Structure 1
Amino acid sequence: MENGHGTVRQLHYLPAVGSAYGVEVLSFAALRSMDVHRRRTQPQRPDFHVFALVGSGTGTHEADFHNYRLQQGSTVWIRPGTVHRWSDIDACDGPLVLFRPGFLSGLTAPEATTPACWHLDRHRLSLALLAAEHLDREHRAAAQVPRLASPALLSHLLAALILRTLPDTTASTSPTGTGSRHTEVFRAYRAAVEEHFTHWHHVADYARTLGYDVRTLTRATRATTGTGAKAFLDQRILLEAKRLLAHTDQPVSNCARRLGFRDVSNFTTFFRRQANMPPVAWRVAYGTKGTDGTVATGGV
């Protein structure tokens, strides 16, 4: 299993026949029909985006150690690399949109700040479902009649759907001026963090590589996410540490080495400071249970 997550299923983007456009529209009903063995209820880590709307019904969903209650109007956005599971969607109905990283451009700020799940009121849900239906119809037309296919059109319709659903705090973006500059800088910083966070733990390392000073990265990150560049980096390292501890039985010392810490004591200090508990306590509290009900608790 990639990334050492022995109990987490790694999902790769594999479009259906005729859907090789970087996006695919399904539904909760279609997911259930394709998953007769209910593997959706087990931890999984997609390398693509999953965007879902609950048009009716209730259920539950878990994403990176947060549990969400699903109901009519619930909106779910799973980013690539998130460890999640559809705990219970037997009664949910509505569209699911799968799309590759990079298929949707120009929404860096909302991607970074929108939670994994939020709620739409009745009026916004109605408009969002219409937008999803439009995307679905164009997607099916592209699959059935290739000469009608337009990846650019599909990308624009996907962007329209997401903009229609974004929480008010993230619904606006600045296309020009300082906001645009901050978005550009943060986009580069976030990509570099994702590539190097397992061995670069100082913002100065990223500043040198990207050609910015630390203050520029800090201003751009704070303007985009509401937190500084160092805090953003630390939270990314912490999230991966939590995933490793909860979803593998690797010793804490191995987890520390995988994340670029020279010794386990430095890792333990970092984790305790960020999570308010030591790594072993986190593993006991959140570790994935095996078939016998035990929790993976690899030693130090």
Structure 2
Amino acid sequence: MDTHGHRERPQRPDFHVFALITSGTGAHEADFRDHRLARGSAVWIRPGVVHRWTDVDACDGPLILFRPTFLAGFTASEAGVPAGWNVDQQRFDLALLAAEHLGDEHDAAGRSPRLASPAVLSHLLSALILRALPAGDASVEETAADHRFTDVFRAYRAAVEEHFTDWHHVSAYAQALGYDVRTLTRATRAAAGTGAKSFLDERVLLEAKRLLAHGDLSVGSCARRLGFQDVGNFTTFFRRQAGMPPTAWRDAYRGGTATPR
């Protein structure tokens, strides 16, 4: 399917890519972070993520592609899940059974259209992903204050995802959400380990890197897409966050020498 090695180039799909590795070893890069692949590895690339497969000729396992609307309301709640992780053996075996069931239903629908049921496929896919997701720490009891901070952070994270190209100041989110800046900062630090402003800047920087890595937009076009009226301000922001100007970062990344921060 990939005789020209396109998978090794940066991709930015508008659909989900979910994979389980059953054999072999390899590597995968998602949003400029490397993940080693071996049996028990899971990969979940959400729409908009820049990624590429490297050294995966020896890897095997189920690969599932699906549109964002296929699991409406489900994937948004998993925004904090990493792009790659390892699944413990017991959960991995159950995930493979779920993947096999999903594959059987999909094949049956292809052979006999009267058996086709998007609802069944959607439920089976949900079961597969839930089974493979990183296990939470069930031993930690969440206090009422922790729960409030979690809710505040989730609201802030969703607002950032919607408005980060227009709103570059935490005060704008505080006003829109009905919280003060201090509350957003405390909630974000408790949930993400960083302040609200740093969280926002990291999201803007990530999108900047995605635009620079995938496609041939000029630095000025990237700046405008991210809501910077002046390319000089964008360059200053990028240099401060990434340690080098955007053009130098793109050249280093495409040359295989960038070390994103």
Pick from 112, 117, 121 the counterpart of residue 149 of structure 1.
117
Letter in 1 for 2:92: L
What is the CA-CA distance between 1:205 and the residue it aligns to?
A: 1.8
In structure 2, how many angstroms separate the alpha carbons of the residues matched to 1:125 and 1:51?
14
Corresponding residue for residue 73 of structure 2: 105
Distance, in Å, in 2 between the alignment partners of 1:173 and 1:148 is 42
> Where in structure 2 are there 5+ consecutive unaligned residues?
257-261
Partner of 2:248: 281
1:20 paired residue number: none
Q: d(CA) in 2 for partners of 1:219 and 1:123?
A: 37
Match of 2:43 in 1: 76
Relative contact order (C-alpha < 8 Å, sep 6+): which is higher? 1
State the identity as a percent.
Answer: 65
Aligned to 1:139: 106
Q: TM-score under structure 1 normalisation? A: 0.69
- Show the 5 A alignment for 1:49-198: 49-102=16-69, 103=71, 105-106=73-74, 108=76, 110-112=78-80, 114-143=81-110, 144-146=112-114, 149-151=117-119, 153-169=120-136, 185-198=152-165
Q: Does the 8 A contact of 1:74 with 1:120 survive in 2?
A: yes
Contact 2:50–2:214 (Cα < 8 Å) also in 1: no
Deviation string 1:23-56 (CA, Å, 9 cap, x unpaired) is xxxxxxxxx3xx4444323221111211110111
| 2:225 partner letter | R
- In the aligned structure 1, how far is the partner of 2:105 from the partner of 2:147? 30
Q: TM-score under structure 2 normalisation?
A: 0.78
Question: 5+ residue gaps in structure 1?
Answer: 1-31, 290-300
Q: Counterpart in 2 of 1:230?
A: 197
Deviations 1:176-203 (A, max 9, x none): 9777766655454334323322221012
Are residues 177 and 110 of structure 1, via their aligned partners in 2, closer, same or farther at CA, if it must alter by over 3 Å? farther
Give, as a single letter, the amino acid of the residue that structure 1 aligns with 2:55.
D
Equivalent residue for 1:43, pick from 10, 22, 25:
10
Q: Secondary structure at the match of 2:47?
A: coil
CA contact (8 A) 2:108 2:115 kept: no
Letter in 2 for 1:160: A
Report the Cα distance in structure 1 between the residues aligned to 2:95 and 2:138, rounded to whole angstroms: 14
Question: 1:50, 1:190 → 2: CA distance?
Answer: 22
Q: One-letter code of the match for 2:73?
A: S
Match for residue 259 of structure 2? none
Q: Does 1:200 align with 2:167?
A: yes
- After superposition, the C-alpha distances for 1:114-165 in whole angstroms (9 at most, x for unaligned) are 22212234333222211222222333345534456152x4344333322322
Q: Could you say which residue in structure 2 is the equivalent of 1:261?
A: 228
Return the offset for 1:238.
Answer: 0.3
Aligned length: 254
Q: Cα 1:257–1:279, aligned 2, differ >3 Å: closer, same or farther?
A: same
